[in-house]
Amino acid sequence: MFPEEYVARQLLAFTRPGDLVLDPFCGRGTTILESTLHSRRAIGTDVNLVAACVSGAKAEVPALDEVLARIDHLETHFVAGGLSVPDGEFFEYCFHSETLGELLFLRAELRWREDPIDRFVAAVALGALHGEAHRSPNYFSNRMPRTISTKPEYSVRWWKERNLAPDRRRVFPILRALSRARLSILAPSGLAKVALEDARNCAEVFSEHEGEVRLMVTSPPYLDTTDYSEDQWLRIWFLGGPERPKRKMSLDDRHTNKENYWDFLSEVWAGTERLLGSEATIAIRIGGKKLDVDEISNGLSMSLKKGLSRGFHLLDAPNTSEIKNGQLNSFRPGALGKRHEHDFVFRLH
Ligand SMILES: C[S@@+](CC[C@H](N)C(=O)[O-])C[C@H]1O[C@@H](n2cnc3c(N)ncnc32)[C@H](O)[C@@H]1O
C-alpha cells in the first residue's frame, strides 16, 4: 500500500482544494481517501473485488444513521437457513453455524456494487471476516491471520491439530460497533468515486470528467510480483466470488515479462489520457525485483511516450526508497528480500 504521507505530499505540491485526482490502480484507496481528506475530488479504478469495495467505501462515505438503519433493516429481515452452505469442512470449521448463517444472508443481500450504504457495510464486514479471533471478539472467524485468507485444507488441518472450534460471533451488533468506530473518524463525503474496472477503461467509465484531472497519482502492479487476490479468496467469496481459492481470481495484470509489462502500462496511460487536463501532473510509484532504476526510468518514459499523444517532461530526478512494510511483504513475510521502489513525477505539456 501507498503510505498516506506520500499521497499527501503529491496532493499538496500539485493540486488545490476542489481539483480532481485520478488513481487508475486505486487498491485499498489511499489516494481516494487522502484526496477527500484534503478536500480534493477523486476517481479511481481497480479490477480486484476487495479493492473496489474497500476503496469505494472510502470514496462515498455514508452517514452513520443511514448505515445503522440499513443494518437494523437487514437484522429484522434475517431468516436463518434457506441459503446453501458451501461444501467442505472449511466453512464448518471457520465459522460457527449461526455466524455463517448471518454471513450467507449478508452475502446474498448486500448490493455492494451499486449502493454506497451496502458497500460501506460490506467493507466493514470484510475487515471483520477473519483474523486473530482469540485476540479480538470482533472477528467472525475461527483463528486465522487477518492479512491473508489461508487455504482451506491448510486451515482445517491447523484448526484440527489445535482443537480449535469457532466461537459464535453476532454479526449484526459487531457491524454496528465497527461502523460507529469507522464513522467517528471518517466524515461522510461524496467527493470521490471508484469503479470496478480495468485501468485501461478509465476514460470511458469516467467520461463526464474528460480533461479535468490535475493529478494522476498511482502505483501500478509491480513487475514480477504475484497476483495476491488468491490470498484474499475468503473476502472475495464474501463479495460473491467462488467457494474456493482459484488462480487468477481477478483480472489483475501481473507481468513477469518486461516487454509485456511496459506494453500494458502504455495501454493504461492511453486509457487515461482523455481525462488528463492540460499541464496535468503524473506521479508514479513503481518497483520490481528484476528492474534497476535506469531500466524503470527508461521503461516508464517509453511507455508514457507510446501511450500518450501529448508531450511530457520529468519534473525531478526519481526518488528511491527501500520497500519496508508494504502490502506484499506483510502478505508474504520475508519472501522478497530487499526491494526498492522509485517515485517519478512527470508533467504534461
Ligand atoms: C500496487 S497495488 C496499488 C496499491 C494502492 N496504491 C494502495 O495504496 O492500496 C496495484 C493494484 O492494481 C490493481 N490492478 C491490477 N491490474 C489492474 C488493471 N488492469 N486495472 C485496474 N487495476 C488493476 C490490483 O488489483 C491492485 O489493487
Residue 320 sits in a domain whose CATH number is 3.40.50.150
Whose alpha carbon is nearest atom 17 of ligand 1?
252
Considering the domain architecture, whether residues 10 and 121 belong to the same structural domain is answered as no
β-sheet bridge partners, residue 193: 43
Considering the domain architecture, whether residues 202 and 336 belong to the same structural domain is answered as yes
Three-state secondary-structure class, residue 320: strand
Give residue 342's Cα distance to chain centre: 21
Ligand 1 pocket mutation pick from 25, 35, 260 by most atoms within 8 angstroms of CB: 25
26 closest CA partner among 174, 257, 217: 217
Give the pLDDT of residue 333.
42
Give the pLDDT of residue 335.
44
Domain boundary pick from 168, 185, 202: 185
Considering the domain architecture, whether residues 34 and 21 belong to the same structural domain is answered as yes
Confidence of residue 87 (pLDDT cuts 50, 70, 90): confident
Considering the domain architecture, whether residues 330 and 201 belong to the same structural domain is answered as yes
- Contact of 217 with 244, CB cutoff 8 Å: no
- Contact of 195 with 261, CB cutoff 8 Å: no
Domain boundary pick from 185, 208, 239: 185
Confidence of residue 331 (pLDDT cuts 50, 70, 90): very low
Considering the domain architecture, whether residues 307 and 326 belong to the same structural domain is answered as yes
What does each C-alpha distance from 259 to 4, 220, 262, 300 come to in angstroms?
Answer: 31, 15, 5, 11
Pocket lining: 341 vs ligand 1, CB cutoff 6 Å: no
Considering the domain architecture, whether residues 177 and 114 belong to the same structural domain is answered as yes
Backbone angles phi and psi of 322, in degrees to 5: -80, 140
Distance 294 CA to ligand 1 centre (A): 23
Residue 346 has pLDDT above 60, yes or no: yes
Give the pLDDT of residue 254.
66
**Model pTM score:** 0.92
Considering the domain architecture, whether residues 166 and 220 belong to the same structural domain is answered as no
Pocket lining: 61 vs ligand 1, CB cutoff 6 Å: no
Atom of ligand 1 nearest to the CA of 218: 6
Range(s) of the domain holding residue 36: 4-60+190-348
Residue 214 has pLDDT above 50, yes or no: yes
pLDDT in tens, 224-245: 776 677 889 999 999 999 999 8
Q: How far apart are CA 115 and CA 74, in angstroms?
A: 14
Considering the domain architecture, whether residues 250 and 124 belong to the same structural domain is answered as no
Q: How far apart are CA 238 and CA 106, in angstroms?
A: 8
Q: Residue 346: which residues within 8 A CB-CB, separation 6 or more?
A: 281, 282, 283, 284, 304, 312, 313, 314, 315
Give the pLDDT of residue 252.
59
Confidence of residue 328 (pLDDT cuts 50, 70, 90): very low
Q: Average pLDDT of 102-130?
A: 98
Q: For the ranges 101-115, 131-145, 180-194, 257-271, which has the lowest average pLDDT?
A: 180-194
Q: Average pLDDT of 197-204?
A: 97
Q: Average pLDDT of 87-103?
A: 96
Considering the domain architecture, whether residues 109 and 166 belong to the same structural domain is answered as yes
> Residues, the chain, total?
349
Q: Average pLDDT of 64-70?
A: 97
215: cell is: 493529478
Pocket lining: 25 vs ligand 1, CB cutoff 6 Å: yes
Pocket lining: 48 vs ligand 1, CB cutoff 6 Å: yes
Atom of ligand 1 nearest to the CA of 24: 21
Confidence of residue 200 (pLDDT cuts 50, 70, 90): very high
Considering the domain architecture, whether residues 38 and 156 belong to the same structural domain is answered as no
Considering the domain architecture, whether residues 178 and 243 belong to the same structural domain is answered as no
- Number of domains the chain is built from: 2
Atom of ligand 1 nearest to the CA of 250: 25
Q: Average pLDDT of 145-160?
A: 96
How confident is the prediction for the chain on average, in pLDDT?
91
Q: For the ranges 22-31, 155-164, 189-198, 224-233, which has the lowest average pLDDT?
A: 224-233
Distance 27 CA to ligand 1 centre (A): 5
- Contact of 197 with 25, CB cutoff 8 Å: no
Pocket lining: 30 vs ligand 1, CB cutoff 6 Å: yes
pLDDT in tens, 251-306: 556 677 788 999 999 999 999 999 999 999 999 999 877 778 899 999 999 999 99
Residue 327 has pLDDT above 70, yes or no: no
294: cell is: 535506469
Whose alpha carbon is nearest atom 27 of ligand 1?
27
Residue 319 has pLDDT above 90, yes or no: no
Give residue 215's Cα distance to chain centre: 20
Give the pLDDT of residue 60.
95
Domain boundary pick from 165, 185, 205: 185
Backbone angles phi and psi of 193, in degrees to 5: -150, 140
Q: Which residue has the higher pLDDT, 184 or 53?
A: 53
Q: Quick count: other Cβ atoms within 10 Å of Cβ 242? A: 11
Considering the domain architecture, whether residues 203 and 333 belong to the same structural domain is answered as yes
195 closest CA partner among 306, 127, 271, 246: 271
Pocket lining: 288 vs ligand 1, CB cutoff 6 Å: no
Show the DSSP H helices in the chain as ranges.
Answer: 4-14, 30-37, 49-59, 64-76, 89-94, 97-109, 116-129, 152-161, 171-185, 202-205, 233-238, 258-272, 293-307, 327-331
Give the pLDDT of residue 330.
42
Residue 156 has pLDDT above 80, yes or no: yes
Give the pLDDT of residue 280.
98
Cα dihedral sign for 319, 261, 32, 108?
A: negative
Q: How far apart are CA 188 and CA 201, in angstroms?
A: 28
